């Protein structure tokens, strides 16, 4: 496996497998989890951690399967919330407005509903999404700080301390985060904005390679001051 220098660092003995946006591609997630398990078996480490960067649902054909796979994972794991999980939770809330539902459906929510056998046009059928999956999404955390990294779905707002970042920015931000060239308090590992290949910059690492649009599903392997990649 080819490794290169990373812009951040992790404590010795810690390895993070960070996975970009899944968007209902459970078969790709299964392949990537297998590759991660294989790598870990070949190169054991004291403290492995699997971090998913959010957007497990919508657009792709098997959101239900992707959530089930995340819930059944056996490695030490932290799952972060993406803006698509936030949209789903808002739309599925008993007090959701028509705008909440429309926003979700316009952004791939119909594919998620169909994966549960629900009809996007008939809200009465949306109860097919079980409470366990709704609770799983509601419990997702917005960010993770570890070593010299901050893991978040979309990014951060430049100039704001990490402990004061708004959840909406962690889940949704693009600009001014993407164009910011100065340092952040930590190197931000994120997804949310598709790119043709992983983007490795001095202040951030983008692991969303547009799997649902035909690109690979990407895992960044972070260890000490090094980085490598797995693709499915």
What are the residue numbers of the active site?
A: 84
User: 222-231: b or e for each residue (b if 16 or more CB lie within 10 Å)?
Assistant: bbbeebebbb
In the chain, the N- to C-terminal Cα span, in Å, equals 15
Q: Is-cis flag, bond preceding 118, omega within 30?
A: no
The residue count of the chain comes to 232
Sheet holding 187-190, edge to edge: 143-146, 149-152, 187-190, 204-206, 199-200
Residues 6 or more apart whose CB falls under 8 angstroms from that of 74 comprise none
Give the number of other CB atoms < 10 A from CB of residue 161: 8
- CB atoms near residue 197 (< 10 Å): 13
Question: Whole-angstrom Cα distance, residue 86 to residue 65?
Answer: 18
User: How many alpha carbons lie under 13 Å from residue 151 in its C-beta half-sphere?
Assistant: 31
């Amino acid at each position: 496996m080819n490794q290169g220098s990373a812009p951040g660092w992790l404590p010795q003995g810690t390895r993070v497998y960070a996975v970009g946006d899944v968007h209902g591609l459970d078969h790709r997630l299964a392949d990537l989890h297998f590759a991660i398990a294989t790598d870990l078996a070949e190169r054991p480490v004291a403290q492995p951690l699997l971090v998913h960067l959010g957007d497990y649902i919508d657009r792709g054909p098997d959101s239900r399967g992707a959530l089930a796979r995340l819930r059944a994972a056996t490695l030490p794991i932290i799952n972060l919330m993406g803006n698509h999980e936030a949209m789903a939770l808002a739309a599925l809330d008993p007090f959701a407005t028509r705008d909440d539902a429309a926003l979700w459906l316009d952004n791939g929510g119909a594919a998620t509903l169909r994966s549960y056998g629900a009809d996007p046009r008939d809200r009465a059928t949306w109860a097919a999404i079980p409470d366990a999956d709704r609770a799983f999404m509601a419990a997702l955390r917005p960010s993770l700080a570890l070593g010299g990294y901050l893991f978040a779905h979309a990014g951060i707002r430049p100039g704001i301390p990490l402990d004061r970042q708004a959840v909406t920015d962690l889940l949704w931000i693009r600009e001014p985060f993407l164009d910011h060239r100065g340092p952040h308090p930590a190197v931000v590992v994120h997804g949310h904005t598709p790119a043709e290949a992983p983007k490795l910059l001095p202040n951030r690492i983008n692991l969303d390679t547009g799997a649902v649009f035909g690109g690979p599903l990407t895992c960044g392997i972070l260890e000490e001051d090094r980085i490598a990649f797995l693709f499915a």
